[in-house]
Amino acid sequence: MSTRGRLNRPAPITGTVLAVQANYYRVQLHGEQVYPVQQLLCTRRSRLKKQGQHVMVGDQVVVEEPDWQGQRGAIASILPRQSEIFRPPVANVNQILLMFALAEPKLDPHQLTRFLVTAENTHLPIILCFNKRDLTSYTTQRAWRDRIKRWGYDPVLVSLQTGVGLKTLERRLKQRITVISGLSGVGKSSLIHHFIPEQEVRVGCVSQRWGQGRHTTRHVELFEVGEEAFLADTPGFNQPSVDTILPPQLGHCFPEIRQQLQQSQCQFKDCLHVNEPNCVIRGDWERYPDYLSLLSEVTEAHTKRQMQSASEARTKRKSGKRGKPQDEPKLETKRYRRPSRRQLQQSLQNIDIESLEHLSP
Ligand SMILES: Nc1nc2c(ncn2[C@@H]2O[C@H](COP(=O)(O)OP(=O)(O)OP(=O)(O)O)[C@@H](O)[C@H]2O)c(=O)[nH]1
Ligand SMILES: [Mg+2]
Ligand SMILES: [Zn+2]
């Protein structure tokens, strides 16, 4: 191929979508070339609209017709996405930064496990970060670090108040899109504020409004916090839902189980590691009881979903009086009986709980 054509044609302008505001997209231009401005407020080409292509925060896009003076442009195409998460909606996320505090709010291992499991379910790499080191003793920090290492994670301990540990964290954010998740009040917004002090990220107030239900749609925004490092803040919440996890997938959300499965396999591919024959998962690790209680929860949610779709499938639409459609359930009531929750409970009771008790936190 001759290079002439290539040389004559200017290189396409590409960038990362930082925020979506109504029908406008704020795009941070990629740095290989020097542009008159670094950000453009863009519209989406109608061709994209017609094709039903939605632009998400985190998308890598090609921008055309830049108006450098007006700082405007048009998104012509979206480059293929590497990943997509939906709560919050962000494309091309490379990793989740799960942030907790060593104190204020008190660090609860069960709650932490719940957050870890939902983060693991995205299949994205996780950075586990503990903030507010300044509020705890060295002994407490050491104890938590050792404990979390036994779970299979290597936590980064920081204090946004004193700045300790932040260099290590910063290194792990470079050239990545990272979504911060974690309990309310742990310091997620403070982290962004640390990198861009001039940025108004509403430290200490976002989730209060969220909690009162006033934020019905979540506003997501990427902040550039260093060398091609982008961070998305999220409002904190207390109880992440595990409902969408399928029971056989839950085990993969625990590094302790993944490690044991690397050495040998259970007889059944979809083994739930409760008391199936030839299951290789032992119960001698701290979070096994958490695994069991989450298993019970995801199984219940899964059963409910199955019953719901079965009931929808058996409900036939029929014209009612005056032509109004009316749902008529078919009369196969036996099938509606609650099935496997009790079975699961029974199988959970069969586990040798005593052998686990000394491990309870
Ligand atoms: N002592 C101490 N306080 C901190 C530290 N980091 C943050 N804080 C304080 O913790 C409080 C909550 O911080 P935010 O950054 O708003 O927490 P958040 O995780 O964004 O909370 P939500 O938006 O509610 O989810 C603020 O009052 C911060 O000043 C720290 O390292 N040490
Ligand atoms: Mg916040
Ligand atoms: Zn098993």
Q: How far is the centre of ligand 1, averaged over its atoms, from the C-alpha of 209 (Å)?
A: 16
Domains assigned to the chain: 10-80 (2.40.50.140), 86-232 (3.40.50.300), 247-314+333-357 (no CATH)
Q: Return contacts of 30-36, CB within 8 angstroms, 24+ apart.
A: 31/228, 35/66, 35/68, 36/68
Instruction: Give the pLDDT score at 228.
Output: 85
Q: How far is the centre of ligand 1, averaged over its atoms, from the C-alpha of 233 (Å)?
A: 13
Report which DSSP code applies to 180. Answer: E
Q: How far is the centre of ligand 3, averaged over its atoms, from the C-alpha of 229 (Å)?
A: 39
Q: How far is the centre of ligand 3, averaged over its atoms, from the C-alpha of 195 (Å)?
A: 44
Question: For the packed helices 109-120 and 288-314, what is the interaxial angle rounded to 10 degrees?
Answer: 50
User: What residue ranges line ligand 1, CB within 6 angstroms?
Assistant: 131-132, 134-135, 159-161, 184-190, 203-204, 206-207, 235-236
pLDDT tens-digit readout, 91-101: 999 999 999 99
Closest CA to 26 of 35, 36, 12, 37: 37
Closest CA to 236 of 182, 156, 164, 157: 182
pLDDT tens-digit readout, 159-193: 999 999 999 999 999 999 999 999 989 999 899 99
Of the residues 102, 160, 162, 190, which should be mutated to test ligand 1's pocket, given the most ligand atoms within 8 Å of the CB?
Answer: 190
Number of residues assigned to the chain: 361
Whether residue 161 contacts residue 141, with contact meaning beta carbons closer than 8 Å, is answered with no
The one-letter amino acid at 54? H
Q: Return contacts of 352-359, CB within 8 angstroms, 24+ apart.
A: 352/283, 353/289, 355/283, 355/284, 356/283, 356/284, 356/288, 356/289, 359/284, 359/285, 359/286, 359/288, 359/289
Percent helix, strand and coil across the chain, each rounded to 5?
35, 25, 40
Would you place residue 33 in the very low, low, confident or very high pLDDT band (cuts 50, 70, 90)?
confident
The one-letter amino acid at 353? I
CA distance 27 to 48: 16
CA distance 243 to 118: 10
pLDDT tens-digit readout, 202-255: 554 434 433 333 333 357 889 999 878 999 988 777 778 898 899 999 999 999
Sequence-distant (6+) residues with CB within 8 A of 75 are 17, 25, 27, 42, 43, 44, 45, 48, 55, 61, 62, 63, 64
Which residue, judged by its Cα, is nearest atom 8 of ligand 1? Answer: 187
Of the residues 156, 157, 164, 186, which should be mutated to test ligand 1's pocket, given the most ligand atoms within 8 Å of the CB?
Answer: 186
| Ligand with an atom nearest the CA of residue 257 | 3
Atom of ligand 1 nearest to the CA of 186: 19
